[in-house]
Amino acid sequence: MKYIMILMATFVSVGCATSTKVTYNISSEPPQAPVDVNGVNMGLTPTAATLECNKQWVGLINSPDGWANASGKYEIKAFPPKGFSGQSQTKNIDPCQWKGEGNPSIQFDLGLEKVTPTQKLEITTTNNNSTNIQKSIEALKTLRNTGVITEDEYKTKLLEIVE
């Protein structure tokens, strides 16, 4: 019995979390772009960043394989190199989702320019309040016509709705 308890305690303390590391190759066009991972400078492209995937046991009821991502996503941001006009780009990466062979790659195209819509958008709003008032009046008329409320009650409620 003592050995079973020790074995169970060992399984619970050791088997509750797992950690793996995934190295991402980061490149950009143009090269030599500064890269940050969660606000930490990782140097200039091309570079590599090793991201940790922490998983913890949550049970088969809460997850198909019983494990949940405990490390969250990483924010990888690339900035245009000095002397180059372009837009910075951000990508959110979850290393726990990588299931392939080898090292995954992240490519930034910093030559993209900001795009503004070329078609004018017209936004119109509908006044749901008037629709609700009409529905309330119709319901009130039905109550009056079926004899549920009197004419005086109808007029009193109608004034409350309109105001």
**DSSP per-residue codes, 139-154:** HHHHHHHTTSS-HHHH
CA distances from 106 to 25, 39, 75, 115, 122 (A): 6, 17, 12, 22, 37
Q: What are phi and psi of 135, to 5 degrees?
A: -65, -40
Can you give the pTM of this predicted structure? Answer: 0.56
**Residue 159, token pair as written in the block:** 């004034």
Max mean pLDDT among 36-45, 109-118, 128-137 falls in 36-45
Choose between 89 and 8: higher pLDDT. Answer: 89
Neighbouring residues of 39: CB distance < 8 A, sequence distance ≥ 6:
75
Distance from first CA to last CA of the chain, Å, rounded? 77
**% the chain with pLDDT above 90:** 30
Degrees, nearest 5: CA angle 14-17-18: 105
* Nearest CA-CA partner of 44 in 93, 86, 79, 92: 79
Whether the Cβ atoms of residue 89 and residue 77 lie closer than 8 Å to each other:
yes
Whether the Cβ atoms of residue 86 and residue 112 lie closer than 8 Å to each other:
yes
User: Residues 26-69: pLDDT tens digits?
Assistant: 999 999 999 999 999 999 999 999 998 887 888 888 778 887 77
